[in-house]
Amino acid sequence: MAEERGQNLAQMALAWILKDPRISSVLIGASKPEQVTDSIKCFQNYAFSSKELLRINLILNSNQVNQFAMLCPIY
């Protein structure tokens, strides 16, 4: 799906998190400047169609992924 959007998985994940109006910022763990530059590319395509959101929700629900745990690794 990320490839279809012209992104790598990390870029799509950042865009997905930032689509939520309750989220004002995201902290990324970068050890190299290139990782920051790569992450910023998420803004080249940060809108999701309703079809893409449905696909993501189906994946999350089918795997019973705890979305809060994904956002807060110490959970």
Is 1 part of a structural domain of the chain? no
Is 21 part of a structural domain of the chain? yes
Q: How many domains does the chain have?
A: 1
pLDDT tens across 37-75, in order? Answer: 999 999 999 899 999 999 998 888 876 655 555 555 544
- What does the pLDDT average to over 23-34? 90
pLDDT tens across 8-24, in order? Answer: 999 999 999 999 999 98
Q: Look up the domain containing 15 and give its range.
A: 9-71
Is 49 part of a structural domain of the chain? yes
Q: What is the pTM of this model?
A: 0.74
Is 29 part of a structural domain of the chain? yes
Q: What is the 3-state secondary structure (H, E, C) of the chain?
A: CCCCCCCCHHHHHHHHHHCCCCCCCCCCCCCCHHHHHHHHHHHHCCCCCHHHHHHHHHHHHHCCCCHHHHHCCCC
Is 47 part of a structural domain of the chain? yes
